[in-house]
A and B are shown apart, each in its own frame.
Chain A
Amino acid sequence: MDKFAVDGSSAKVASSCMMSGAQILVESLRRENVDLMFGYPGGAVLPLYDALYQCGIRHVLTRHEQGAIHMAEGYARVTGRPGVVIATSGPGATNLVTGLADAMMDSLPIVAITGQVSTEVIGTDAFQETSIIGISTPITKHNYQVRHVDELSQVIRESFHIASTGRPGPVLIDIPKNVAVSLGRLDDGGPLSLPGYQPNLEPNLLQLKRIIEGLAEAERPLLLVGAGVLHAKAHRELLQFAEVYQLPVVSTLLGLGAFPGTHPQFLGMAGMHGSYAANQALYETDFLINIGSRFDDRLTGNVRHFAPNATIVHIDIDPAEIGKNIRTHIPVVADAKRALMGLLRMGQEVKDFAQWKERVYGNKREFPFWYVPEADIIKPQAVLQQLYKLTDGDAIVVTDVGQHQMWAAQFYTFQNPDCWVTSGGLGTMGFGLPAAIGAQFGKPDKTVLAVLGDAGFQMTLQELSVVVEAKLPIKMMIVNNGSLGMVRQWQELFYNERYSESLLVSQPDYVKLADAYGIPAYRVEKASELSRVLLAAVEEPGPVLVDCRVAALENVYPMIAPGKGLHEMVGVVPL
């Protein structure tokens, strides 16, 4: 059987031969052009790992299964290709749960393969048995337990198809150990039959016509762009559409980079910590076109005050998103790219919304993101601002979750698509470092900045081993305020400064820690030294870690307090 192992063209040969389930898995992964996977071996996946041994598909051994799936997510986000992860049964599988939920919320294509105890002992509480199918059903787009080896290759083909088409999402394949060692055949690779899964890509032309007509009547039109534009690779069409109709543009957190951040029509990120100009425009607009965003509550604030006077257009590939959170007047179920192409084909006269433009661009000029620099204390916003300058806005920025994440979104201006990797929907602390590793694997020639909080970094820092082993030149920036910053901020604002369990009393020496892994590191404590250290770090050819000791009590502003509307931002300061 080993003769199949290295030969890339073996799929053709192999289809007619009997193979073990494990070999079928390897052949199937080759058929899907998988050249990289992240995982961690264990008892139930020993047959799978034996087939993977020297098979030609690169396997990255992580230090925890959660690290593996976040790496797969980072890889998927920057490449647009499914991230593949493999873990053993029981604890291996349950350690994937957070990442599956994260990928589900942020629509990332993931194929997760888990080992399972043999079919004859399923249900007997066998060693390392857990019902990962039961556990993962609500947090995957679909999942499979393969009960017979002959189903395996078709299940794998379906999984890749489901994960990467329509609204992308995670798919889990549970493979019992005896299925992995049973002999079977590859399927013929013919068309898949999935009558219950037919994503609608083409827009309804009548609805598109209504959009064009609505635009002609609108006084205060606005474009809201979400990650759906990135998944559909529709950024060029978006730019063209926005420019033709002269529409101001706001973005969701995850949509950053879909529209060029320095473009004069861009009003910035909207939502809880979005720009005043973006939120005010959402509040005042009379014609809102949402392309590929799901009206998340962190974007809308109190829904009663969300675009209260607007006709709302919602373009989404997932029909269930339309009308879920926000009433919709013109629904378009379609792929963002095809919808935008359809709109561009419908030539219409272009209105001049002079007054509206003056208002929104005036707000943009007058109320930029702000902070108060201090003589010797490093302000966290300055770290992001400097990093933006040092990398010419061309790096891939990966964050963890919390204050530093919001500062990155505010102060790093994203010019290009697929350069921003962050956990938006689930808000998963510990996401940053492994996701940055996955992103660097996906885009080896790009500068990857991992912007991390000191607390989130400590959740998954064991993956530093992978950085070293794979010689990944990731620039790790710890925005270190010695606390769970966002929790502390909410306690300050809404819980009378009772800092319950949000201050980190002791911290490791991050420079020594990095040194223990053989990673060069710097500590910077003075504002005057910040740019020198960051420059040195960015110019480092290999991996580097910087412990930036920043102002501990800095808050993220502006802000919409929970329960408040878009027009009730606090911490808005004119230039």
Chain B
Amino acid sequence: MNRILSVLVNNRAGVLHRVTALFLRKGFNIQNITVGSTELENQSRMTIVLSETDEVTVEQVMKQLHKQIDVLKVSDLTEEPIVARELVLLQVNSPLNSRSTLITLIDPFRARILDVGRDTVMIEAVGKPEKVDALIALLRPYGILQLARTGVTALTRDSQTTQEIARLMRSNALNL
């Protein structure tokens, strides 16, 4: 199972290097990593996806991240109620005569066409990684000329909402 870690760090030069150097040193594998600014000017958020990692390794990754002086908080979001999104850009073969089919095809993904050429279009889609995977699989037969994925970024959902949902689920359960 993929693990999603959210890491709050000081927004300082070299912090990304510290984190990736740590992964190299300890032999952990990163599937993808995104870094960007947060609501606070002096903090950045890294979202790190680890592929197929067992509990012991994840615990070790989190502890090692914690040891970094510039790391402020490490959370494992894998089991948490979260919103996780990824953006993908695809340049796909699209001869004019079949373009309308393509547009119909991508419509359920709420994908958009950003750039149009004589023989190609560029598509943008945002969604969960699985949705992005599905879109790519769907478009592969058309011929993907270029592809770029941003990697996942994620935030936890509002805790009041998630507690409310949990409460509703409990009260709706049948007492058999």
Contact = CB atoms under 8 A, between A and B. Distances in A.
Asked if A and B are interacting partners, one says yes
Nearest to B72: A196
Interface string B34-77: 00000000000000000000001001100110111111100000
A64 B106 CA distance: 66
6 contacts: A138-B21, A138-B24, A162-B69, A195-B72, A196-B72, A197-B69
Interface string B1-29: 00000000110011001100110110000
Contacts of B64: 320
Q: By CB atoms of chain A within 10 A, which of B18, B67, B71 has the most? A: B67
A142 interface: yes
Contact of A196 (B14, B21, B59, B71): B71
Interface string A187-219: 000000011110000000000000000000000
Contacts, number: 37
Interface of A: 133-134, 137-138, 141-142, 145, 162, 194-197, 318-320, 323-324
B70 A196 contact: yes
A133 B18 CA distance: 10
A323 B17 CA distance: 26
A195 B68 CA distance: 11
A194 B70 CA distance: 9
Contacts of A138: 21-22, 24-25
B63 A319 contact: yes
A565 to B, nearest CB: 21
B72 A320 contact: no
Contacts of A319: 63, 66
B57 to A, nearest CB: 10
A137 B18 contact: yes
A320 B67 contact: yes
Contacts of A137: 14, 17-18, 21
Contacts of A196: 9-10, 68-72
B68 to A, nearest CB: 7
A162 B68 CA distance: 11
Contacts of B68: 196
Contact of B63 (A133, A162, A197, A320): A320
A137 B64 CA distance: 13
Given A194-B69, A196-B68, A320 B21 contact: no
A195 B66 CA distance: 11
Contacts of B69: 141-142, 162, 194, 196-197
Nearest to B70: A196
A194 B72 CA distance: 9
Contacts of B24: 138
Contacts of B9: 196
Contacts of A323: 56, 59-60
Contacts of B21: 137-138
Interface string B78-102: 0000000000000000000000000
Given A195-B72, A196-B71, A196-B72, A320 B14 contact: no
Contacts of A145: 13-14
Contacts of B59: 323
Nearest to B62: A320
Contacts of A195: 72
B117 to A, nearest CB: 39
A505 to B, nearest CB: 38
Nearest to A324: B60
Q: Which 5 pairs across A and B sit closest by C-beta, in order of nearness?
A: A320-B63, A138-B25, A142-B69, A197-B69, A196-B72
A320 B25 contact: no
A158 to B, nearest CB: 8
Contacts of A318: 67
A360 to B, nearest CB: 31
Q: By CB atoms of chain B within 10 A, which of A133, A134, A137, A162 has the most? A: A137
A570 to B, nearest CB: 31
A141 to B, nearest CB: 8
Given A195-B72, A196-B71, A196-B72, A320 B18 contact: no
A141 B22 CA distance: 12
A141 B18 CA distance: 11
Given A138-B21, A196-B69, 19 more contacts: A134-B17, A137-B21, A138-B25, A141-B69, A142-B69, A145-B14, A195-B72, A196-B9, A196-B10, A196-B71, A197-B69, A318-B67, A319-B66, A320-B60, A320-B64, A320-B66, A323-B56, A323-B59, A323-B60
A133 B13 CA distance: 11
A328 to B, nearest CB: 11
Contacts of A141: 69
Contacts of A324: 60
Contacts of B63: 319-320
A323 B61 CA distance: 12
Contacts of B17: 134, 137
Nearest to B64: A320
A320 B56 CA distance: 11
Contacts of A134: 17
Q: By CB atoms of chain A within 10 A, which of B14, B22, B56, B71 has the most? A: B14
A103 to B, nearest CB: 16
A97 B66 CA distance: 24
A195 B70 CA distance: 8
A138 B13 CA distance: 16
Nearest to B63: A320
A566 B112 CA distance: 64
A194 B18 CA distance: 17
Nearest to A167: B67
A324 B71 CA distance: 20
A323 B59 CA distance: 9
B16 to A, nearest CB: 11
Contacts of B67: 318, 320
Nearest to A147: B13
Q: By CB atoms of chain B within 10 A, which of A142, A162, A196 has the most? A: A196
Nearest to A318: B67
A134 B24 CA distance: 13
B39 to A, nearest CB: 16
B20 to A, nearest CB: 10
B54 to A, nearest CB: 12
Q: By CB atoms of chain A within 10 A, which of B22, B25, B63, B64 has the most? A: B63
A156 to B, nearest CB: 15
Interface in B113-137: none
A330 to B, nearest CB: 16
Contacts of A197: 69
Contacts of B70: 196
Given A195-B72, A196-B71, A133 B14 contact: yes
